[in-house]
Chains A and B, each alone.
Chain A
Amino acid sequence: MTDHFTSTFTGGQSKDVRIGEILCKAREAASYSVAYVADQTHLKKEVIIALENDQFDQLPSDVFVKGYIRSYAKLLGIDSQDLLAVYPQNRVLETETIVPQIKKVKKINSLSVDPVVIWSSVTVVAILAGLLMTWWVYQEDSDPVELASVVECFDAEHLTEAGSEQEQQQQNSETKHNVVLGNIDPQNISAEQNVAPELVDDEDRVIPQQQAQVIPTIIELPISGGEIDKVRITVKYTEESWTEIVDARKRRLLHGLMKAGATRVISGQAPFNVFFGNSPGVQLEINGKPFDHSIYMRRNSTARFLINDNNS
């Protein structure tokens, strides 16, 4: 009996074969009633009838229906594997109850181990790194802000501006180093190069080697690319103040929080765009002349103004 059904089933017309029909015929051949089958498999009669009529949509999800077919087939002595091989073709609807969650999944980490993928990633990373390096090097060579910011590194305790006409200041001040910015002539450069080692010798304080080395470097740096700057501004801080001074070329000559007691000398091309965070604590000299900026002070002590060629 079993052989008969199995051979009918596998006889080549699997598309036309209905699972329910095979089960029904096998049951009748074994002369079992639906009630008997239901009792043996602990399933409801309705389930058995639905199985025999291929009404799978009336039954719960796939896993259960397959299980029911398996236990029914086992009772009848049929090989359930052949029946289940046809099953998915008959049932499409039920798979959708579970699978949608999985189908929607974005495949984020699903790159397979493909050498092409690995090498192309490596190449892209290398190119990006190369571009980054090129940009970095170019940035270092061309950024004028960097030069101005070097000036800020020096504290006023160590640095005081001394122009060629103000050299006497350096003798009055015991702890001050000299920096010449702006219009430098070769004489000044040589004078400054001589001063730096003297300071190390004369003073008890040990000047950090790094600073001593940097001083001549700054002198050599042509801030305005060799052009002569017209205006020299001296900024003295009696109180701490945030400061930003930008010259006509949009170079940021001074930027950041300055400490009380600090003195900064900058030179550049007018007009200068000046901003003081705490303007009462700042004294300004333009080309050696004191400049009163209190008229620009706002309610919150800040001051923002423009210094033109005529010092107005």
Chain B
Amino acid sequence: MFGRILGLFSNDLSIDLGTANTLIYVRDKGIVLNEPSVVAIRNDPNTGTRSIEAVGASAKRMLGRTPTNIEAIRPMKDGVIADFTTTERMLQHFIRAVHKNMILRPSPRVLVCVPCGATQVERRAIRESADGAGARKTYLIEEPIAAAIGAGLPIDEARGSMILDIGGGTSEVAVLSLNGIVYSASVRIGGDKFDDAIISYVRRNYGVLIGEATAERVKQVIGTAYPGKDMLEIEVKGRNLSEGVPKSFSLNSNEILEALQEPLHGIVSAVKTALEQTPPELGADVAERGIVLTGGGALLRDLDRLIMEETGIPVIVADDPLASVARGGGKVLEMLDEFGSDLLTRD
């Protein structure tokens, strides 16, 4: 009863608690927050206390550039919580940021998306961290379902739809029909693995160490998954491992393509396995209509082309793939009062 009254003063939220970015969808308002999942913590050596220095984009700028008393942490790893307390604080910060002009302490109903490969313990951690951040009630939903709904796939039909959501930490591939998951798999390959692959490629071939932020920029600007007509180049600076001094050099898109081969192969294998495991009728539906790509990974140039060539099935990139999961969660939240919790996961 009291919770319902409080609910009048809070907005229902759908949170895509991703490894790389956290997105919040507010009912009737759309995506209101899209911030990197990074927290900067200041350690006070005198009192031994830890306080939040920055959260989100400002904290991300500090990554790799912090003095000893500040540490910039990415509390999510491989799609799940790696640092419980920090995640809770981060969520708390984001929920408050969404309810900026509130007098009362917000206590919204929150729907959080979890990777389908997350274990019971990991799901519980996510639920508890949302509860701890001030949620009145926490619902969990499998990421592929949220992504499919967010992309606009007609998953309520008796037809198979395949979705491939490539996030920062994990890639989820799932076949959905009649509002349920027929097959789902989660591989711990995502944008982070792409960055790591670029870092190790540069170290191996140039003897230069570059930071994560630089690797991410390289991936976003010239990264490609399939050989294209145009060759792009970017100027990169890093530390020469043998001489120990900063060094500037240029990377081209073909090199990045080579660097990304391993993680890309992992994703393609996951898709192929999913197609193998899909019941034939649903497989035929997928082959006819195509695979839908969502998540930040879908923005990698020509990734759709690579999967298309590897599987022989049309591949479609969803509108605004980064926000698909949060948007889908938001739609589920809107449907919750009327259609119940069929789409939600139980743990």
Contacts and interface: CB of A to CB of B under 8 A. Distances in A.
A67 B331 contact: no
Interface in A83-124: 97-98, 101-102, 104-113, 117-118, 121
Contacts of A64: 289-290, 292, 316
B266 interface: no
Nearest to B339: A101
Contact of A63 (B27, B103, B313, B319): B319
Interface string B91-106: 0000000010111000
A111 B8 contact: yes
Contact of A107 (B28, B99, B339): B28
A106 B315 CA distance: 35
Given A61-B153, A66-B319, A98-B152, A112 B103 contact: no
B90 to A, nearest CB: 22
Contacts of B331: 102
B337 A71 contact: no
A62 interface: yes
B314 interface: yes
Contacts of B303: none
Interface string A243-257: 000000000000000
A40 to B, nearest CB: 9
A104 B336 CA distance: 11
B154 A61 contact: yes
Nearest to B308: A42
B337 A63 contact: no
Given A43-B314, A68-B314, A113 B9 contact: yes
B28 A110 contact: yes
Contacts of A118: 9, 103
Contacts of A61: 152-154
A106 B109 CA distance: 16
B109 A109 contact: yes
A71 B338 contact: no
Interface in B234-260: none
Interface string B1-43: 0000001110110000000000000011000000000000000
A94 B314 CA distance: 20
A41 interface: yes
Contacts of A108: 337
B334 interface: yes
Given A61-B153, A68-B314, 6 more contacts: A42-B290, A61-B154, A67-B314, A67-B315, A97-B157, A108-B337
Interface of B: 7-9, 11-12, 27-28, 99, 101-103, 109, 151-154, 156-157, 288-290, 292, 304, 308, 312-319, 331, 334-335, 337-339
13 contacts: A42-B313, A42-B314, A66-B319, A67-B290, A67-B318, A68-B314, A71-B314, A97-B157, A104-B338, A109-B12, A109-B337, A113-B9, A113-B11
Task: Please provide the 7 A-B residue pairs with the shortest distance between their CB atoms, ordered closest to farther.
Answer: A67-B316, A63-B152, A42-B314, A105-B334, A60-B289, A61-B154, A108-B337
